[in-house]
Structures are given as structure tokens and as C-alpha cells.
Amino acid sequence: MESSDFIAQLLKQSLTIPDPQPSLTLEALVDSLAELAKTQRHNGQQFLLSDFLEERVRQTLTPGERKQLGKIFRKKLEGSGIAKFSHRRSDNHAVYTRTA
């Protein structure tokens, strides 16, 4: 590691500046989750985002990141025609129906 990288890392840690990469990470995660929905669910079958997301991974996300993940997931599914939003459960989790 170069000294400039080391200094930048120390500054970021001491100033608690959030990493600018989370949205890229969430988008990559959504791509993987959408592919799982596409391959593991049949037409007409309903599912939740949590069906494909391990609890330990979900727990590492902040509430804001979880909301952002859900929004990106919905846009990806509906935009690619994999599934459509069906309804929300009483616990406010979105339910999707596989379409293609």
C-alpha cells in the first residue's frame, strides 16, 4: 500500500466519511438477486427479496441501505420483465410475482 493510500484510509476512518462505493455494491447485489429470482422462481410464483438475501447479509446493511436495495431491486425486476410488484405484506415487505 502506498503512503498516500494509507493516509487516505486513516483520514477516512478518523473522519468517518462513508465509502462512496455502496451504491455500486448494492447494484451488483441486486443484479445477483434478480438473476436468482429469474432462475429459481416459475411464472406466477410469488416471492420476497428476503427469499434470496441471507439474514446475515441483510443485518450488515443500514436501514437506509435496505430501503435503497429494495427500490433498486424493484426497478431491476420490473425493468427487465422478470417480475412485477404484487403487494405489501403486513410487515411492509414487498411481494413480487414472477412474470417471465
Tens digit of each residue's pLDDT (9 = 90 or more) over 46-84: 999 999 888 888 888 889 888 998 999 999 999 999 999
Does residue 15 fall inside a structural domain?
no
pLDDT (0 to 100) of residue 2:
61
Model pTM score? 0.70
pLDDT tier at 1, thresholds 50, 70, 90: low
Q: Which three cell numbers stand for residue 3?
A: 503512503
Q: Is 88 within a domain?
A: yes
- Of 16 and 33, the one with more pLDDT: 33
Orientation angle between helical segments 63-80 and 22-40, nearest 10 degrees: 50
In the chain, the number of structural domains is: 1
Answer yes or no: is 82 within a domain: yes
What CATH number is given to the structural domain containing 92?
A: 1.10.10
Query: Is residue 3 in some structural domain?
Result: no
Q: Would you list the DSSP string of 26-92?
A: HHHHHHHHHHHHHHH--TT-EEEGGGTS-HHHHHHS-HHHHHHHHHHHHHHHHHHTSEEEEEE-TT-
Domain-located, residue 61: yes
